Amino acid sequence: MPTLFTPWRYEYITAAASQPAGCFLCEAAACDETEEEARLVVARTPHHLVVVNRHPYSNGHLLVAPRRHHATPAGSDAAERAELWEVVLRAQEALERLYAPHGMNLGMNLGTCAGAGLPGHFHLHLVPRWNGDTNFMSVVAETRLVPEEPATSWRRIREVFCALGPGESRR
């Protein structure tokens, strides 16, 4: 099996250890409505928030995180566990309506060795994918092409997410 070395990813992972102690997800959870756009908060539920990723892998890359700071799903209480997948399904539905992706990656990176840039506050990634969306740029030029800025994604996703209403996913 061939090996692809990714020094740009190593720099990202090791830089996380030297970042200030502040948690952007806790800051987003604590912000008021006037700060939601600046913090890219799409939606809030009693136990979770949905945030546009500032460093997206693709258009519409979202994070679903508990409002309470804890490192792994095992740290979730019963109410958080009960609500998590409903929030994920609503976020997925919003992305499907808005972007019509061909597929979607859902995942968590638990711990820095697993790639977590914020190891203390677990979150689930929703990454819309399209046939043929990988290309040579990330390998040859160490550059990822994402045509839509996170602030634009925030405006578009928030509108669709709000239209879904506060209830359970319609799936």
CATH of the domain at 105: 3.30.428.10
**pLDDT on residue 139:** 47
Residue 125 forms part of a structural domain: yes
CA–CA gap between residue 90 and residue 145 (Å, rounded): 26
Residue 80 forms part of a structural domain: yes
Q: Which is catalytic among the residues 47, 48, 121, 123? A: 123
Residue 79 forms part of a structural domain: yes
Q: Which domain does 124 fall in, by range?
A: 7-13+24-164
Q: Is residue 30 very low, low, confident or very high in pLDDT (cuts 50, 70, 90)?
A: very high
Lowest mean pLDDT among 22-26, 60-64, 86-90, 117-121: 117-121
123 is catalytic: yes
**pLDDT on residue 41:** 97
Residue 1 forms part of a structural domain: no
Residue 82 forms part of a structural domain: yes
pTM: 0.77
Lowest mean pLDDT among 38-47, 107-116, 129-138: 129-138
**pLDDT tens digits, one per residue of 55-90:** 888 899 999 999 999 999 999 999 999 999 999 999
CA atoms within 13 A on the CB side of 107: 11
Residue 91 forms part of a structural domain: yes
Residue 106 forms part of a structural domain: yes
Chain mean pLDDT for the chain: 83
CB 110 within 8 A of CB 75: no
Residue 170 forms part of a structural domain: no
Burial class (CB in 10 A: 0-12, 13-18, 19+), 8: exposed
Looking at the 3D structure of the chain, how many domains does it have? 1
The residue-averaged pLDDT of 92-97 equals: 96
Q: What is the DSSP string of 83-125?
A: HHHHHHHHHHHHHHHHH--SEEEEE---SGGGT-SSTTS--EE
Residue 110 has pLDDT above 60, yes or no: yes
- Which has more confidence, 127 or 115? 127
